[in-house]
Amino acid sequence: MYLGVVANAIPSKNFDGKIFIKRVSETKKYQQMSHNQNFSDDASVNGLLKNGQWCDKDVGVVVSGMTLGDLKIALVEQYLLEPAVSDRLVICLYTGTGKNKKSKYICKDGDAIPTQDVLTLGGYTLMVRSKKGDEREIDTTCDSKFMEMIMPEVGRAIREQYHWVPFSIPIFLYLDNAGGHGTKAVIDQYVKALKDDFNIILVQQRPRSPATNMLDLGVWMALQNVVETLHFQKRM
């Protein structure tokens, strides 16, 4: 989820209407080594890699004599993977069954990749490795802690984008009044802070009234239409 602030574009002021956007998240570190198969925000690409298309001999990504480093380069070219993903790719080979099942990893760029039976039969699984201490972004909610932290940044961004508006002239910021924007005490606090520090006046939309909510009827409906069109079948 993202917190976003937008407004009407004013081309004559070189203002495109984009003011502020921030992922509602926090940074956490992995407590132990972990593996996943989140290769791409494109659901179709992610599905192909999870299903092992990359090691299909008819696709031609894997060739004889290839190392893991060579494979990473080939996968970036074939599937347009991001460096944050491709740099952490490893190959897992499971051996045994039940309680005796074990995993062996090809994890160094110089490691050779066997291209015989086990590979062509789909015996290898492509994985993304995260080591202990690596950081990741975890989605959170717009709770009191987040709103206290972010609202000063919002106020600063609004004044920077509306650079031609004198500080003496107030700027009005409309909020959708959805739940989770902080306790009443916290809301009162950042409402006062934005007024005192940036001369920005917050206006809360009427709650639970989508038929009269300007943001739902206008801004977010327009954004949702574009997002659903551009990111069809994608997870971003």
Asked if residue 94 has pLDDT above 80, the reply is no
Single out the residue in 103, 137, 171 at which a domain terminates.
137
Tokens standing for 199? 């001369």
Q: pTM of the predicted model, to two decimals?
A: 0.63
Pairing type for strands 34-36 and 25-29 reads unpaired
Single out the residue in 95, 120, 137 at which a domain terminates.
137
Nearest by Cα to 35 from 134, 179, 173, 157: 134
**Based on the domain organization, do 185 and 90 belong to the same domain?**
no
**Based on the domain organization, do 54 and 147 belong to the same domain?**
no
34 belongs to a structural domain: yes
Share the mean pLDDT of the chain: 85
**Based on the domain organization, do 127 and 153 belong to the same domain?**
no
36 belongs to a structural domain: yes
Q: Which domain holds residue 196?
A: 2-24+141-204
225 belongs to a structural domain: no
72 belongs to a structural domain: yes
48 belongs to a structural domain: yes
| Overall domain count for the chain | 2
Distance CA 171, CA 70 (A): 55
pLDDT tens for 157-168 read 999 999 999 999
**Based on the domain organization, do 162 and 112 belong to the same domain?**
no
Distance CA 236, CA 234 (A): 6
Single out the residue in 137, 161, 186 at which a domain terminates.
137
**Based on the domain organization, do 107 and 152 belong to the same domain?**
no
**Based on the domain organization, do 33 and 119 belong to the same domain?**
yes
Between 236 and 19, the more confident residue is 19
Least confident of 2-11, 89-98, 187-196: 89-98
**Based on the domain organization, do 54 and 131 belong to the same domain?**
yes
pLDDT tens for 133-179 read 988 888 888 888 889 999 999 999 999 999 999 999 999 998 877 76
